[in-house]
Amino acid sequence: MSDCDTKCDENCSYKIKSRRETRSLAFHILYAADRFDYTIDFEELIDVFRTGFNLEIPEDSDAIKMAKNIIESRQELDNQIKPLLKNWKIERLGCCTLLILRLAIWELMQKEIAPSIIINEAIELAKGFAEKDAYKFINGILDEYCKINKLYDQEKDKQVKTEEE
């Protein structure tokens, strides 16, 4: 077993191994892009992550695709979020809260992963990075989005089909 299998030094790079790590990296890329007011070239931003954090991020990685798609569709995502913000304005949301909502809504729109998993992952991101108790707010917003878009019904239909097969 090499040293890279147990720990990373300056000669080793870390590989993303799970969907949770993919989401986390996508969130971090989104955060960096947001802090640069989306003025930094996306490829340059990815290179900063590769070299600065010694990450092995392939060009076709899910984290890069996810972050790029969310950045490109942030206006559309915000338009999905705004009606769910009863008595709130989107400008009042903390940066991390908004980014987590965008990420989760984007994933929900893809309809590839069960809504319950996406919501749970968003809650975990919020607990780690968003404002105190923001995870409750995020849970409520995403739950409402799923109800309005009947995503829970689709999740149940998928479970029934899987059980029948």
* Domains identified in the chain and CATH numbers: 1-72 (no CATH), 73-165 (1.10.940.10)
Say how far apart CA 103 and CA 69 lie, in whole Å: 10
Average pLDDT over residues 70-91: 95
Residue with tokens 């903390």: 94
Cα distances (angstroms) measured from residue 32 to each of 14, 36, 42, 120, 129: 19, 6, 10, 23, 13
Q: What pLDDT, on a 0 to 100 scale, did the predictor assign at position 142?
A: 98
Q: What pLDDT, on a 0 to 100 scale, did the predictor assign at position 160?
A: 38
pLDDT tens sequence across 19-57 = 899 999 999 999 999 999 999 999 999 999 999 988 888
Q: What pLDDT, on a 0 to 100 scale, did the predictor assign at position 88?
A: 87
- State whether residue 131 is helix, strand or coil: coil
What's at 94, amino acid-wise?
G
Q: Does residue 7 carry a pLDDT above 50? A: no
Q: What pLDDT, on a 0 to 100 scale, did the predictor assign at position 89?
A: 93
Q: Does residue 99 carry a pLDDT above 70? A: yes
Q: What pLDDT, on a 0 to 100 scale, did the predictor assign at position 158?
A: 57
Looking at per-residue confidence, does 105 or 18 come out higher? 105
Say how far apart CA 101 and CA 78 lie, in whole Å: 9
Q: What pLDDT, on a 0 to 100 scale, did the predictor assign at position 165?
A: 42
Q: What pLDDT, on a 0 to 100 scale, did the predictor assign at position 56?
A: 85
Q: Can you give the pTM of this predicted structure?
A: 0.84
Phi, psi of 114 (to 5 degrees): -55, 135
Q: Does residue 71 carry a pLDDT above 90? A: yes
pLDDT tens sequence across 107-159 = 999 999 999 999 999 999 999 999 999 999 999 999 999 999 999 876 655 55
Q: What pLDDT, on a 0 to 100 scale, did the predictor assign at position 157?
A: 52
CB 113 within 8 A of CB 23: no
